Amino acid sequence: MNFIAKILEKPLDKLNELSQPGQPLEKMHRAVEAFDTFARTPALVTESKVHIRDSLDSKRLMSTVILALIPAVLFGMWNTGMQTINSVVGLDASFLNAMFIGAKVLIPQLVVSYAVGLGIEFIFALIRNHEVNEGFLVTGMLIPLTMPAEIPLWMIGVGTAFGVIFAKEVFGGTGFNFLNPALTARAFIFFSYPTKISGDNVWRAIEAHKEQLVDGYSGATPLAIAATAPRGTNVVEQLSEAGFNFKNMLIGTIPGSIGETSVIAFGIGALILLITGVASYKVMLSTIVGGAFMGIVFNLFGSETSLAFMNLPWYYHLVMGGFAFGAVFMTTDPVSAAATSLGKYIYGFLIGVLAILIRVLNPAYPEGMMLAILFMNIFAPLIDWVILQLNIRRRLARA
């Protein structure tokens, strides 16, 4: 990185000089500044004694989150390739071929997401004459990871634009959004184009191999099978007959959204976020506890005549769908999550409860995690307000 910084040093200095007030590139100042601060440590630092000095800025925080996402990205590419290989006649099953097939799917999605999102960010920054918001460095990666391999690229572009504009920029940009932009983009696509992102075929072999599908292959996900299991049947047996068990759902070698299948990959990412202090363990832990609690409640009240999904062992919920991915990377968004210490526990716990509640009782939408997080995004300010008022009353009572 130091070597690259040295190569870019003179060109960046020249661009900074040309983008100052009164210079030819004055209107591009914020764009030049954004690229400069991403490539190099920001030149501006606090000088007064009232500040706590720290070399870590927002872009470095975002870079840490991206680093934590790398295991999910790499596994997602490999798994997309392997799902294609397993469902298509005559493809080479080597590791490199699987990565190549997966990369052909994921990389174009990442390019579209970043091109559209960053383009909008730059336009708003130039119009408002403020710094380019670095939050999209993470959002741009999260959006493709929550999408199925088969989704058209133009839908990712439209969804990204909607998420960035209506969940963030209209409220003032990064730091002012009360909804998670990546989940807002996914919600927009889900409700606008439901057949492309849900149902039994959220993942199928990529377009180039559709004519070579193995006979009987459906592309159904574990959640789709569990949600449609008839009353009185054993969900675990239904999953087993379809080739799904706790182990392969934990590892992630199953159909699903590109980056949402491997709990082990998310666990590695969670360790990175927790060790670096970028994410709160309070939100992650309470989300898992809330999901487990609701799963246990359903197990206690489930019977042979109730919904089959109610009898699914509670720990299966934690490795199915986007629950683990959401708990690690979506609930911990520092802007849209609760900020108070107790509020984080309440916020995460209710997300876990609502996710499983929606998943089990709403067969039309067996995922649940996306809606649960967005719903609690709306209530996060209220949770913090109530906690603050309780603290104020407690202190006044002691006065």
Q: CB-side exposure of 253: number of CA atoms within 13 Å?
A: 12
**What confidence category does residue 365 fall into, taking pLDDT thresholds of 50, 70 and 90?**
confident
Which of 38-47, 90-99, 246-255, 270-279 shows the lowest per-residue confidence on average (mean pLDDT)? 38-47
Residue 130 CA to residue 216 CA, distance in Å, equals: 55
CA dihedral 120, 144, 185, 169 (to 10 degrees): -30
Q: Higher pLDDT residue, 48 or 100?
A: 100
Say whether pLDDT at 38 is over 80: no
**What confidence category does residue 18 fall into, taking pLDDT thresholds of 50, 70 and 90?**
low
pTM above 0.95, yes or no: no
Say whether pLDDT at 41 is over 70: no
pLDDT of residue 135: 73
pLDDT of residue 397: 86
- The average pLDDT across 315-339 equals 93
pLDDT of residue 384: 95
pLDDT of residue 150: 83
> Contact at 8 Å (CB) between 39 and 12?
yes
Neighbours of 337 (CB within 10 A): 25
Enumerate the β-bridge partners of residue 213. 88
Express each pLDDT in 206-228 by its tens digit: 555 555 555 444 567 888 888 88
**What confidence category does residue 324 fall into, taking pLDDT thresholds of 50, 70 and 90?**
very high
Percentage with pLDDT > 70 across the chain: 80
Which of 103-112, 174-183, 376-385 shows the lowest per-residue confidence on average (mean pLDDT)? 174-183
Say whether pLDDT at 233 is over 70: yes
SS (H, E, C) the chain: CHHHHHHHHHHHHHHHHHCCCCCCCHHHHHHHHHHHHHHCCCCCCCCCCCCCCCCCCHHHHHHHHHHHHHHHHHHHHHHHHHHHHHHECCCCCCHHHHHHHHHHHHHHHHHHHHHHHHHHHHHHHHHHCCCCCCCHHHHHHHHHHCCCCCCCHHHHHHHHHHHHHHHCHHHCCCCCCCCCHHHHHHHHHHHHCHHHHCCCCCCCCCHHHHHHECCCCCCCCHHHHHHCCCCCCCHHHHHHHCCCCHHHHHHCCCCCCCCCCCHHHHHHHHHHHHHCCCCCHHHHHHHHHHHHHHHHHHHHHCCCCCCHHHHCCHHHHCCCCCHHHHHHHHCCCCCCCCCCHHHHHHHHHHHHHHHHHHHHHCCCCCCCHHHHHHHHHHHHHHHHHHHHHHHHHHHHHHC
**What confidence category does residue 20 fall into, taking pLDDT thresholds of 50, 70 and 90?**
confident
- The average pLDDT across 8-28 equals 69
CA distances for 339 relative to 55, 156, 342, 361, angstroms: 23, 30, 9, 30
**What confidence category does residue 39 fall into, taking pLDDT thresholds of 50, 70 and 90?**
low
Q: Higher pLDDT residue, 317 or 176?
A: 317
Mean pLDDT (the chain, rounded): 84
pLDDT of residue 367: 82
